[in-house]
Structure 1
Amino acid sequence: MYLLMKRLIICLIAAFSLQSCNLLSAAGLSSAGQPTKEVPADLTSTTANSAVNVDHSGWNALLKKHVNAAGLVNYEGFKKDKTKLDAYIQKLAGYNPGNDWSVQELLAYYINLYNANTVSLIVENYPTKSIKDIDGAWTKAIVPVGDRKLSLGGIENGILRKMNDPRIHFAINCASISCPILLNEAYTAGKINEQLDKVTKEFINSDKNEISAKTAKVSSLFDWYKKDFITSKTPTVIDYINQYSKSKINAGTTVTYKDYNWNLNKQ
Structure 2
Amino acid sequence: METEEPVIMQQLAGRITVYSLTGCLHCLRAKAHLTKMGLPFVEVNVKENPEIHQQIINLTARLTVPQIYFNNIHVGGNNDFMNLSEEELASLIDTVKNNPVPLDAPPIPEPGDVKEKEPRKELKSKRDEYADLILEFKESGIIGNHWSCLRMQQNSFSGKKLVNWLMEQKNVDQDAAVDIAKELSARKYLNPLSVKGFENSDALYRLIEHDFAVSLNTGSTAEYNAVSASKHSEAMRDLTLKLFSEHITPDGKLVDYKSMLRSPAFEEYCKLATLLQRLDIGSLTRKQKLAFFINVYNALVIHGNIKQGAPKNTWQRYKFFNSVSYVIGGEIFTLQDIENGILRGNRKGIAQISRPFSKSDPRLQVALEEAEPLIHFALNCGVLSCPPIKTYSAEEIDQQLKISAAAFLDGSDGCQIDVSKREVRLSQIFKWYKIDFGGTDERLLNWLFEHLGDSPKKKALEELLKHGDIKIGSLPYDWSTNSKD
CA distance in 2, matches of 1:244, 1:71: 29
Which residue of 2 is the match for residue 41 of structure 1?
Answer: none
Letter aligned with residue 383 of structure 2 = S
* TM-score, length-scaled by structure 1: 0.69
CA distance in 1, matches of 2:472, 2:273: 39
Q: Which fold has the larger relative contact order, with Cα–Cα distance below 8 Å and residues 6 or more apart in sequence?
A: 1
Structural mapping, 1:196-211, within 5 Å: 196-208=401-413, 209-211=415-417
Question: 200-209 vs 139-148, which deviates more?
Answer: 139-148
Contact 1:62/1:78 (<8 A) preserved:
no
Structure 2 equivalent of residue 94 of structure 1: 278
Partner residue, 1:238: 445
Query: For residues 129 and 140 of structure 1, what CA distance do their matches in structure 2 show?
Result: 15
Bigger mean CA offset, 245-254 vs 159-168? 245-254
Q: Which amino acid aligns with 2:297?
A: Y
- Residue identity opposite 1:174 in structure 2: C
2:257 to 62, 71, 75: 75
TM-score, scaled to structure 2: 0.40
From 52, 60, 77, the counterpart of 2:238? 60
SS of equivalent to 2:309: coil
Q: What is residue 103 of structure 1 aligned with on the other side?
A: 286
Contact 1:139 1:152 in 2 (8 A): yes
Query: 2:80 — aligned with what?
Result: none
Structure 1 pair 142–264 and aligned structure 2 pair: CA distance change class (3 A): same
The equivalences for 1:1-267 within 5 A come to: 53-55=230-232, 56-67=234-245, 75-76=257-258, 78-79=260-261, 80=263, 81-98=265-282, 100-126=283-309, 129=312, 133=316, 136-140=319-323, 142-162=325-345, 163=368, 164-183=371-390, 186-208=391-413, 209-213=415-419, 214-230=422-438, 235-245=442-452, 246=455, 247-248=457-458, 249=461, 250-251=464-465, 252-266=469-483
Q: Flag as ranges the 4+ runs of structure 1 deviating above 6 A.
A: none
The amino acid that maps onto 1:54 is K
**CA–CA separation in structure 1 for the residues paired with 2:253 and 2:327:** 25
Per the TM alignment, residue 84 of structure 1 is displaced from its structure 2 partner at its CA by 2.4
Q: Which amino acid aligns with 1:193?
A: D
Q: Which has the larger radius of gyration?
A: 2
- Return 5+ residue gaps in structure 1 as ranges: 1-50
* CA offsets 1:135-174 (integer angstroms, 9 cap, x no match): 6111126221122112111111111011332101111111
Deviation digits for residues 4-38 of structure 1 (CA, Å, limit 9, x no counterpart): xxxxxxxxxxxxxxxxxxxxxxxxxxxxxxxxxxx
Q: How far apart are residue 110 of structure 1 and its match?
A: 0.8
CA contact (8 A) 2:236 2:295 kept: no
CA-to-aligned-CA distance 1:163-192 (integer Å, 9 cap, x gap): 332101111111111111222xx2111221
Superposition deviation, residue 53 in structure 1: 5.0
Contact 1:75 1:123 (C-alpha < 8 Å) held by counterparts: yes
**Percentage of identical aligned residues:** 25
**1:131 and 1:199 mapped to 2: Cα distance?**
27
CA RMSD of aligned residues (A): 2.9
